[in-house]
């Protein structure tokens, strides 16, 4: 497998096969881990970073849990490929910057990805379709145990797993769920929901995680603190709150259908028509219009389109994906033209 193969495959988390996939796009568990005999990545020398990279790639390559992974040296790939991996949610934007001695390993279906020498030596991630944190935890727990035996993690009996950022110390776990909440936005209830989850030790971010704003009515909700909490407790807490948010979104959808169906159908039809006919369209406009079309599919107001296709269009219309498809650099206007062409082809 090479990086080009990813372009021709749909990541498992986009396939809408998981529970509640009309409202929950994906569930993710991420673990932060560090090797006991090396300084944290930001404090390590180049030689130490290289040694960590080599040891981690060897451990992943020998794994029985991750079959035939794609392992990349991030510093050896170009900027478009780096952005491409960020757009696919396989690594963070921060990992693409100052990329020397950084690595990434990706499993065949993109369920597992492991960043090497990001803020921590290892950032192990598992992503599943729909609301499926438990299965994601089962997968990542077995991988973590296997890699820990080979790499010898930094661990304290008093504090748990030691991490570069104190908020990750303890379990080192970040559990997050990507929610599509257009009806809560339309009914102006979203701010109340976001304020409530903040009081419950959760945080909301945008489509691409930390430092990004919500776009396309997508909200990534995750735990804020790991120290002092067991993994099962973290998952139980976020599951309980996410179920409530799902119920609120479903209720808001029912209200819109009951009270403003004509207005809702008009907005969705206009969005669908624009996407099917536009010859130039920006990334931000695409995300907003696809969000409306996705809602239309969920409510059976649009029956000719598959939700998995809409999910894929969110990703393949991003700038680096367009350039990978064309196999060359494109300026912003060229990207807007190519984006519209791809959307018309898929929705026409």
Asked if residue 182 lies in contact with residue 292, where contact means CB atoms within 8 angstroms, the answer is yes
Asked if residue 111 lies in contact with residue 6, where contact means CB atoms within 8 angstroms, the answer is no
Asked if residue 163 lies in contact with residue 21, where contact means CB atoms within 8 angstroms, the answer is no
The whole-number pLDDT of residue 67 equals: 85
Residue 11 in this model has a pLDDT that exceeds 70: yes
What count of Cα atoms within 13 Å lies in the side-chain half-sphere of residue 47? 0
- Give bridge partners of residue 66 from the DSSP assignment: none
Residue 215 in this model has a pLDDT that exceeds 80: no
CA–CA dist 172, 62 (Å, integer): 23
CA–CA dist 155, 144 (Å, integer): 13
CATH number of 3-253: 3.30.590.10
Q: Where are the domains of the chain?
A: 3-253, 260-347
CA–CA dist 157, 172 (Å, integer): 14
Share of the chain above pLDDT 90, in %: 86
Asked if residue 224 lies in contact with residue 167, where contact means CB atoms within 8 angstroms, the answer is yes
Residue 273 in this model has a pLDDT that exceeds 50: yes
Residue 89 in this model has a pLDDT that exceeds 90: yes
- pLDDT tens by residue, 91-146: 999 999 999 999 999 998 999 999 999 999 999 999 999 999 999 999 999 999 99
Closest CA to 131 of 90, 93, 180: 180
Mean pLDDT calculated for residue range 41-65: 96
Q: With H, G, I as helix, E, B as strand and everything else as coil, classify residue 32.
A: strand
């Amino acid at each position: 497998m090479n990086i080009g193969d990813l372009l021709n495959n749909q990541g498992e988390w986009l396939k809408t096969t998981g529970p509640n996939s009309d409202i929950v796009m994906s569930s993710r568990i991420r673990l932060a881990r560090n090797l006991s005999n090396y300084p944290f990545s930001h404090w390590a020398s180049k030689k130490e970073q290289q040694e960590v990279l080599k040891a981690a790639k060897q451990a992943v390559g020998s794994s029985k849990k991750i079959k035939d992974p794609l392992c990349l040296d991030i510093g050896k790939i170009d900027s478009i490929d780096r952005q491409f991996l960020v757009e696919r949610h396989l690594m963070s934007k921060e990992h693409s910057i100052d990329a020397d001695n950084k690595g990434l390993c990706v499993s065949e279906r993109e369920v597992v990805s492991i960043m090497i020498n990001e803020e921590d030596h290892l950032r192990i991630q598992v992503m599943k379709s729909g609301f499926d944190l438990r299965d994601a935890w089962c997968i990542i727990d077995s991988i973590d145990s296997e890699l820990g035996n080979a790499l010898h993690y930094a661990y304290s009996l008093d504090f748990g797993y030691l991490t570069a950022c104190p908020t990750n110390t303890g379990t080192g776990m970040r559990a997050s769920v990507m929610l599509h909440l257009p009806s809560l936005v339309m009914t102006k209830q979203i701010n109340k929901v976001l304020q409530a989850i903040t009081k419950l030790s959760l945080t909301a971010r945008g489509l691409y995680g930390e430092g990004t704003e919500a776009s396309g009515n997508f909200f990534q909700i995750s735990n804020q603190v790991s120290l002092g909490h067991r993994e099962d407790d973290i998952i139980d807490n976020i599951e309980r709150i996410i179920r409530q948010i799902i119920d609120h979104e479903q209720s808001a959808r029912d209200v819109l259908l009951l009270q403003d169906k004509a207005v809702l159908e008009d907005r969705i039809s206009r969005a669908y028509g624009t996407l099917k006919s536009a010859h130039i369209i920006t990334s931000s406009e695409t995300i907003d219009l696809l969000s409306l079309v996705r809602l239309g599919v969920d409510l059976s107001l649009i029956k000719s389109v598959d939700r998995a296709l809409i999910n894929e269009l969110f990703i393949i219309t991003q700038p680096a994906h367009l350039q990978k498809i064309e196999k060359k650099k494109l300026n912003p206007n060229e990207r807007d033209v190519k984006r519209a062409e791809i959307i018309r082809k898929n929705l026409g």
